[in-house]
Chains A and B, each alone.
Chain A
Amino acid sequence: MRMTRRGLLQGAGALGAAALLGGCDTASSGGGGGGGGGAGGPLTWWDHTPNLQAANERIFARFTEESGTPVEYSYHQTNEMGEALQIANQSDQLPDVLTNVGLRLPVPALIDEGWFQAGAFPEEALSRLPETSLIEGIHTFDGKVYSFPVFADRQYWAITWYNTEMLEAAGVEPPTTYDEYRAVARAVQDSTPEETSGVIFNLGQRPRVAEHVNFLAQAAGFPGFGGDMYQTGEVQFHHEAYLTVIEFLLSLQQDGLLYPASGQLADAEARVRWAAGGAGLYMDGPWCPGSLGTSNAEEFLPKLGVAQMVKPDAGTELAAYRAPQGGMYWISGASQNVEAASQLIGYQTEEPYYIDIANGMAQPPLDVSVIEKADVHPAWAEMVGWFQDQVYLAPSPSAKNPRISAVNAMATAIEPDLGMIVQGAFSGDVPDWQGALKELSDKVMAQREENVAAVQAEGVEVSMDDWAFPDWEPRQDYTPEMYS
């Protein structure tokens, strides 16, 4: 057959149209691609924790060997995970298993919306968990297990990490109080080359800044977390403890001890620059040594040192409080591989997985006793030991009354938030940051009252008292029995 020019064009047009129409088919193939949920294809897994990658790869390999099903792993940076999940959900491409960082709705609301489904975890896997690990309203809902913790609750996220070589060269000991912190930063800065600062901070990552300030406020005497006072349920970002912490942080800048680019650095960038010799001190979570990156870790880990969370003065006894945390991994509502996903996640209750978590030096594993069997940096092991003495279980409003999720689901963003106010205080754009904190407290409280009233009007039993725990005592665990 002789092909004419017109025939060629017609054929090409038809092929193009067919390809276009084919390309418009976004239905899950169940085979490859980023979208999960298809039965018979690989299990898809979205994660934001680089420190757990090695631990998870080992259970992936075991799972694939036992079931013949491969696991497709995708990493998303913490800041970007929520956006990725939001878009995946709207395009029906959620993975089988996901971490829920960035999903800002309460878990019950996400379950109602079909984001998560209950697991079919093997009984053997669940039986390995400590007795009080699963809490209704946090891990189980209507008696069904949706997720379980893999990390220990006892930890805080404003640890002082330091460069031992720099402190030794400066002839100073690791700091524990604000005055010592400033003195150490000064000594390090004065005894190192011009480019090295005393302290580096990640002011460019607002949520991380807020976490640091919230934990430091506890060390400064705030009886609550995230602005919420445990005993009364009031919101007090303008509490004396918050003011003390922010004044301390600002003093580092006023004294010229802050790494100059701190204003726009996210934690990952700040951590790398600190490890590269940009500063002597760096405030970070327990995952710091495991998040240095391969090239930095080899060179820097021998110089790594750790000190307890810094407090206003030596007379203050250090205490931090942390509520029971939700699970790390969840099975998406779109998954058609619940059995397989549950089997895979179930491996995470075994001792080798906890050892792998410890080896990755992420957050401490749920069973911290395995640390002695793990290959970890002594500074990280020492830090986990401090957590056992200094961190107490905090009360959780969700555990007291899971119905408050309806109130939390109605919450909208309030700007500027704590992280932004601190950033503005540093940049000089919020000279009256104390007033801004009071305004933030008032706005959060007013919004909560308004939302509680709206939910009550729908017949749901909630009240402002659900945020109050009058029987909470400092330096005491708020145990599961106390909710009743």
Chain B
Amino acid sequence: MTTVMESNPDVLRSEAPPPGRKARRPRQQLWIWLMLLPTVVLYGLYTVYPIVASYWLAFLEWNGFTAEKTFVGLENFQAVLADPLFWNSFRITVIFMLAVVPPKVILTLLLALALNSANLPFRTFFRTAYFLPVVTTAAIVGIVMQFVFDPASGPVNLALRRLGIIDAGINFLGDSSYALWTAAGVYVWKWFGITMIYWLAALQTIPDEVYEAARIDGAGAWQLMKSITLPLLKPFLIIITLLSFESALKVFDLMLTMTNGGPFYATEVVEIYIYRWAFAATVPQLGHASAAAVIFGLFVCVVGLFQIFGVRSVQKARAI
């Protein structure tokens, strides 16, 4: 490259900016950075700083009430890793993730296929209706669901009793056999709309001409689905699935308001475990909470790595 440029002065001449432009560039960059400054500062204050601080706190013993912070090295990490309740919360987090992602991805795909059909009446209404829970505050959803699933007077139990399916009310949120699965169901319902929108966007990338050509060749509905829609959606499937896995790790507000991690730790996901140690323990231990957060953060990074691999594989597939 150097050789080409040296041997061809025209190239050099054409790439060199005009004198006035060269002088303006630093000023332009200054304004770019100035405009970015609010985002950079806020991102730094509310995202980067807490992350860095939590890494530092993980090496300290500190209850949050005193000024004294004692450096304890890796003791907090050892305590977290030796705590069966941490592994319980980790297990619950993974089970929750595995429980919600498949139905969320598959059911929303089916719904998006239906809503993408030009023949479906009121499809805008349905899209809006399914999206409404997404814009509802998760904490409010959690509180409302306590009433919806109330074993005494909740509409779900009343309906089941009137239909003769059960004799006595089921304690969906207060019984450890049901609580996690109920919470998983609510989560899928709450975030159904966002995944549906992803699928609708993906479906709209498939050109109509491809379908028309296939129809002319005599393809039926099932063949269109099997040979065109699903293969072309495959790259999106990877991305949407990975995004769903990642978002299933963030259920703090919903779970806290709906079950508070109970009964007896049955729905205590890692986020609530961290919160309990940081704020709700008899004597809060911010170091212990931070160590758990760091370990959980590493797990999220692993999930994020899968996402990067997924994106790359999609890009490669598209390039081919």
Contact = CB atoms under 8 A, between A and B. Distances in A.
Interface of A: 9-10, 13-14, 16-17, 20, 24, 82-83, 86, 89-90, 103-105, 109-110, 113-115, 195, 197, 203-204, 259-264, 278, 409, 411-417, 420, 423-424, 426-430
26 contacts: A13-B35, A17-B38, A20-B38, A20-B42, A82-B279, A86-B64, A104-B282, A113-B66, A114-B67, A115-B65, A203-B174, A203-B263, A260-B169, A260-B171, A261-B150, A264-B174, A264-B260, A264-B262, A264-B263, A411-B283, A412-B285, A416-B265, A423-B263, A429-B263, A429-B266, A430-B264
B175 to A, nearest CB: 7
A203 B173 CA distance: 13
B85 interface: yes
B259 A113 contact: no
Contact of A427 (B41, B168, B264): B264
Interface string B54-85: 00000000011111100000000000000001
A278 B31 CA distance: 64
Nearest to A82: B279
B230 interface: no
Contacts of B285: 412-413
* Count class of interface residues, chain B: 35 or more
Contact of B174 (A24, A263, A417): A263
Interface in B4-38: 31, 34-35, 37-38
Interface in B100-131: none
Interface of B: 31, 34-35, 37-38, 41-42, 45, 63-68, 85, 146, 150-153, 168-169, 171, 173-176, 259-260, 262-266, 277, 279-285
Contacts of B176: 427-429
Contact of B263 (A259, A260, A263, A409): A263
Nearest to B170: A260
Contacts of B174: 203-204, 260-264, 427
A105 B152 contact: no
A89 B37 CA distance: 29
A424 B284 contact: no
B298 to A, nearest CB: 23
Given A197-B152, A414-B282, A105 B263 contact: no
Classify the interface of chain B: helix, strand, loop or mixed.
loop
A429 B66 contact: no
Given A260-B171, A264-B173, A429-B264, A415 B284 contact: no
Contacts of B277: 413
Given A113-B67, A424-B263, A260 B151 contact: yes
Given A17-B34, A82-B279, A86-B279, A261 B263 contact: no
B263 A110 contact: no
Q: Which of A104, A195, A411, A414 has the largest count of B CB atoms less than 10 A from its CB?
A: A104
Given A105-B66, A259-B152, A17 B37 contact: yes
Nearest to A89: B65
Contacts of B283: 104-105, 411-413
Contacts of A105: 63, 65-66, 283
Contacts of B31: 9-10, 13
A89 B67 CA distance: 10
A327 B306 CA distance: 56
Contacts of A417: 282
Interface centre among A10, A83, A90, A110 (most CB of B within 10 A): A83
Contact of A104 (B42, B45, B65): B65
Most chain A beta-carbon contacts within 10 A, residue among B150, B174, B280: B174
Nearest to A103: B65
A261 B168 CA distance: 12
Contacts of B153: 195
B165 to A, nearest CB: 16
Nearest to B85: A415
A261 B152 contact: yes
A10 B67 CA distance: 43
Given A82-B279, A263-B174, A424 B264 contact: yes
Given A105-B65, A430-B264, 7 more contacts: A109-B65, A204-B260, A261-B174, A413-B285, A420-B264, A423-B262, A424-B263
A24 B49 CA distance: 14
A427 B175 contact: yes
Nearest to A263: B174
Contacts of B45: 24
A472 B173 CA distance: 45
A20 B41 CA distance: 9
A10 B35 CA distance: 9
Most buried by B among A86, A105, A413: A413
Contacts of A415: 85, 281
A113 B66 CA distance: 6
Contacts of B152: 195, 197, 259-261, 278
Contacts of B284: 86, 104, 413
B65 A20 contact: no
B38 A261 contact: no
Contacts of B150: 260-261
B214 to A, nearest CB: 50
A83 to B, nearest CB: 4
- 6 A-B pairs with the lowest CB-CB distances in the bound complex, closest first: A263-B174, A260-B151, A413-B281, A424-B264, A429-B264, A427-B263
Nearest to B151: A260
- Most B Cβ at <10 Å: residue of A16, A110, A263, A426: A263
B67 A16 contact: no
Contacts of B38: 16-17, 20
Nearest to A20: B38
Contacts of B266: 427, 429
B34 A13 contact: yes
A261 B282 contact: no
A76 to B, nearest CB: 13
